[in-house]
Amino acid sequence: MSRIDVNKTYKLFIGGAFPRSESGRVYEVKGANKKFIANPAMASRKDLRESVVAAKSAFHGWANATAFNRGQVLYRIAEIMQGRSEQFVEEICALEGVSNKAAKSQVEETIDTWVWYSGWCDKLSAISGSLNQVSGPFYNFTTPEPLGVVAVFAENKPSLLGAVRTLAPVISSGNTAILIASEKYPLPAITLSEVLATSDLPSGVVNVLTGKISELASWIASHMEIDGVDVAGLSKSEEEELKLHGADNLKRVFRFTNRNHPERILSFMEQKTVWHPIGI
């Protein structure tokens, strides 16, 4: 008789802990072969609120960490992912039904994405800040600062890479984030949160929710303490709806091309200009 596998319970990731949804709701995820894989949590509005509380309380520490420190943490995430590559490859194969080779290349690209954004952390004011030549005896400089709490909707596919290319740029600058996993392929995002939990990333900097995208989108749109949204995983009509209600607190809402780009970081930053007189 062969051994029975010990299956994983896929839970949410909020404030560094792995709770089930407070609502008790789950939904069934099947593999490409139509067989049952898991019952991940279907996050509720309260789960979202808890995530915002966690993200908000983590913001000050993460935003004020040195950029060098943030860069090292992002690099550490890449290191830990490298060691767990096999697990991600298996998960992606089972879910997306892609070849082992394709899954492996997705995982590798994801790891490299962390490395790429790790390197950006301490170069943001070099490319987007300025010392401004004003007409008068003033020292005047502009420097980018993180926006606050940003929600990112991962694309449906590629399930792991789609999550990381929205998430990594957002947290590299010092924002804290709520990652909404792909509804159809949510499992790699949850496994990613296990990596994040063991990579020196402070609790609450990233929170991961799984569930119904349309529900979560409307709750995120109207939440007054979410400052920005990457709508990669939303349909056009869901994006329009989110922008309409997001206007209540003037959320910064963007959709990007698939490329990694520093604009994905800078769009979720604010430019601060400081004046001081020069004189004796």
In the complex, the residues that contact other proteins under the rule CB under 8 A are 127-128, 130, 132-136, 138, 140, 142, 145, 227, 236, 239-240, 243-244, 246-250, 252, 254-257, 259, 261, 263-264, 267, 270-277
Of 108 and 263, CB closest to other proteins: 263
Beta bridge partners of 139: 276
CA–CA gap between residue 238 and residue 229 (Å, rounded): 12
Shortest distance (Å) from residue 249 CB to other proteins: 6
Nearest-approach distance from CB 83 to other proteins, in angstroms = 31
- Shortest Cβ 189–other proteins spacing (Å): 22
Query: CA 174 to CA 149: how far, in whole Å?
Result: 10
3-class secondary structure, 18: coil
Closer of 32 and 134 to other proteins (Cβ): 134
How far is residue 121's CA from residue 148's CA, in Å, rounded to a whole number? 16
Within 8 A by CB and 6+ apart from 102, the residues are: none
Nearer to other proteins, 18 or 138 (CB): 138
232, 260 Cβ separation under 8 angstroms? no
Measured between alpha carbons, how far is 272 from 263 in angstroms, rounded to an integer?
17
Q: Which is nearer to other proteins, 32 or 131 (CB)?
A: 131
Minimum CB separation of residue 13 from other proteins in Å reads: 27
Q: State which residue, 90 or 240, has the beta carbon closest to other proteins.
A: 240
CB of 186 to other proteins, least distance (A): 24
Burial 88-101 (b: 16+ CB within 10 A, else e): bbebbbbbbebeee
Closest distance between other proteins and the C-beta of residue 124, in Å? 12
Q: Pairing state of beta strands 36-38 and 29-30?
A: antiparallel
Local structure of residue 84 (DSSP, 8 states): T
Residue closer to other proteins, measured from CB, 36 or 275: 275
Cα of 248 vs its chain's centroid, Å: 23
DSSP class of 7: P
Nearer to other proteins, 6 or 250 (CB): 250
Whole-angstrom Cα distance, residue 245 to residue 217? 10
Shortest separation between residue 52's beta carbon and other proteins, angstroms: 16
